[in-house]
């Protein structure tokens, strides 16, 4: 009986060096993870601004001026919105905290099949959360000007993100030039195409998500106000913010709206429920197909998982960065699958 040949595994010093280099790279990224996150946030901002700068190139407007004007306009719009909504949001948050017991009672009366909710702990938790939310919004400007270390660090990080984004837009193909220094020559053309596709996909997703959130938030807020549901502004803001989470987000946003409406009677609760269903249908069949048609679509399950992972790792910031990161990974994986398929066909 002959023994099968035993293949000799030759581990060269260069292989060991490459493995150590890769491990060192992962360790280095871990050590500067905060900076990596800020750079990725800058990439997202640059992806949003790049189409605007490219459009203004037709009129020979300097890119630096385009980006600065865009930043100023965004800051003015945000300042105006904050000035308009902070006081009503604070008032409605505090008012809503006082009617939490009525909301819980309405929920308990829905059906005997639903287990009864323990009033004390839940009411106390929701009320304290709403009151703290209102106080935090009301004291936002004071907290900023008192200059605590965390606020200063947050401001510096915020400034860093937008300065880097400014550089990425003003310095044409900055990412491609950087990639050329780090990528082997035979792979550079693919990496350059990957960067370009990622920028376009992320930029389209950001624009689409902003437009979608604003439209859904406006629809919910105005609809709740028209049918007489209290705290319509809060409910509209909640719906707009949660639009980032597909499938689950609108459901979560609709729940407090229907419960608050129930405090005004069963008829109002049913009306609010129908309104949310109609808005959901408009969103699914009109808004998403038209607003997000050019963005790279991710399966809802993938998006939900990405958002959960992002929230677990980085909180609110992770929720914001999760979908763009998942979009880039999806592009890369689709390229790998396409390459594997081409190899199988050629083989």
pLDDT at residue 123 greater than cutoff 60: no
Instruction: Point out the least confidently predicted range of 30-39, 97-106, 187-196, 203-212.
Output: 97-106
- pLDDT grade for 121, boundaries at 50, 70 and 90: low
Q: What is the mean pLDDT of residues 188-211?
A: 86
**Integer Cα distance of 11 and 3 in angstroms:** 24
* Mean pLDDT, residues 129-139: 53
d(CA 167, CA 45): 11
Q: Looking at per-residue confidence, does 254 or 263 come out higher?
A: 254
First CA to last CA distance, the chain: 35
Q: Which residue has the higher pLDDT, 4 or 39?
A: 39
Highest mean pLDDT among 60-74, 103-117, 120-134, 291-305: 60-74
Residue 261 clears pLDDT 60, i.e. is over it: yes
Return the minimum-mean-pLDDT range out of 94-98, 109-113, 200-204, 291-295.
109-113
SS3 sequence, the chain?
CCCCCCCCCCCCHHHHHHHHHHHHHHHHHHHCHHHHHHHHHHHHHHHHHHHHHHHHHHHCCCHHHHHHHHHHHHHHHHHHHHHHHHHHHHHHHHHHHHCHHHHHHHHHCCCCCCCCCCHHHHHHHHHHHHHHHHHHHHCHHHHHHHCCHHHHHHHHHHHHHHHHHHHHHHCCCHHHHHHHHHCCHHHHHHHHHHHHHHHHHHHHHHHHHHHHHHHHHHHHHHHHHHHCCCCHHHHHHHHHHHHHCCCHHHHHHHHHHHHHHHCCCHHHHHHHHHHHHHHHHHHHHHHHHHHCCCCCCCCHHHHHHHHHHHHHHHCHHHHHHHHHHHHHHHHHHHHHHHHHHHHHHHC
Lowest mean pLDDT across 142-156, 184-198, 263-277? 142-156
Of the given ranges (189-193, 210-214, 297-301), which has the lowest mean pLDDT? Answer: 297-301
Angle, helices 266-282 vs 185-227, to 10°: value is 150
Residue 38 clears pLDDT 70, i.e. is over it: yes
Model confidence at 204: pLDDT above 80: yes
User: Among 13-17, 20-24, 25-29, 39-43, whose mean pLDDT is lowest?
Assistant: 13-17
Lowest-confidence segment of 26-30, 40-44, 72-76, 86-90 by average pLDDT? 86-90
CA 225 from chain centre, in angstroms, equals: 27
The arithmetic mean of pLDDT across residues 54-74, rounded, is 88
346: left (phi over 0), alpha (psi -120 to 50) or beta: alpha
Name which of 18, 27, 37, 22 is nearest 322 in CA terms: 37
pTM above the 0.75 mark? no
145, pLDDT greater than 60: no
Supply the pLDDT for residue 99.
63
CA dist 197 and 17 (Å) reads: 33
Give me the pLDDT at residue 117, please: 47
* Residue 240 · residue 213 · CB < 8 Å: yes
Higher pLDDT, residue 9 or 20:
20
Residue 2: CB atoms within 10 A of its CB come to 4
Q: Is the pLDDT of residue 223 over 90?
A: yes
Domain parsing of the chain, residue ranges? 31-140+147-172, 193-337
Return the pLDDT at 337.
75
Structure tokens, 230: 């209290």
pLDDT tens-digit map of 159-199: 888 999 989 888 877 888 888 887 888 888 888 888 888 88
Q: For residue range 41-56, what is the model confidence (pLDDT) as tens digits? A: 999 999 889 888 888 8
Does 129 score more than 70 pLDDT? Answer: no
Give burial (CB, 10 Å; 0-12/13-18/19+) of 184: exposed
Question: Contact 161/127 with Cβ under 8 angstroms?
Answer: no
Q: Is the pLDDT of residue 82 over 50?
A: yes
Query: Residue 303 burial by CB count (10 A; 0-12/13-18/19+): exposed, middle or buried?
Result: buried
Inform me whether the pLDDT recorded for 329 exceeds 90.
no
């Amino acid at each position: 009986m002959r023994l099968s040949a035993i293949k000799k595994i030759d581990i060269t010093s260069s292989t060991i060096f490459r493995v150590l280099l890769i491990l060192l790279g992962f360790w280095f990224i871990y050590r500067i993870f905060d900076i990596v996150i800020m750079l990725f946030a800058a990439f997202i901002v640059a992806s949003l601004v790049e189409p605007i700068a490219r459009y203004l190139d037709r009129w020979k407007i300097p890119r630096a001026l385009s980006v600065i004007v865009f930043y100023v306009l965004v800051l003015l719009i945000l300042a105006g919105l904050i000035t308009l909504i902070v006081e009503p949001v604070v008032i409605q948050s505090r008012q809503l905290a006082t009617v939490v017991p009525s909301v819980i009672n309405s929920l308990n009366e829905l059906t005997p099949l639903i287990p009864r909710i323990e009033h004390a702990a839940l009411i106390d938790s929701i009320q304290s959360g709403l009151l703290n939310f209102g106080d935090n919004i009301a004291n936002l400007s004071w907290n900023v000007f008192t200059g605590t270390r965390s606020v200063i660090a947050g401001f510096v990080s915020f400034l860093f993100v937008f300065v880097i984004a400014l550089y990425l837009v003003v310095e044409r193909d900055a990412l491609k030039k950087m990639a050329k220094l780090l990528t082997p020559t035979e792979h550079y053309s693919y990496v350059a195409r990957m960067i370009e596709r990622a920028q376009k996909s992320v930029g389209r997703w950001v624009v689409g998500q902003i437009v979608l959130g604003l439209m859904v938030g406006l629809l919910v807020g105005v609809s709740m106000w028209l049918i007489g549901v209290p705290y319509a502004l809060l409910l509209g803001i909640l719906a707009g913010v949660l639009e980032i989470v597909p499938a689950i987000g609108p459901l979560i946003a609709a729940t407090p709206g229907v419960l608050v409406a129930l405090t005004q009677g069963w008829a109002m609760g049913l009306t609010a429920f129908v309104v949310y269903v109609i808005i959901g249908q408009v969103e699914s069949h009109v808004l998403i197909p038209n607003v997000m048609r050019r963005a790279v679509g991710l399966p809802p399950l993938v998006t939900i998982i990405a958002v959960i992972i992002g929230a677990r790792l980085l909180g609110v910031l992770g929720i914001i960065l999760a979908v763009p990161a998942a979009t880039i990974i999806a592009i890369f994986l689709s390229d790998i699958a396409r390459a594997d398929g081409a190899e199988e066909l050629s083989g």
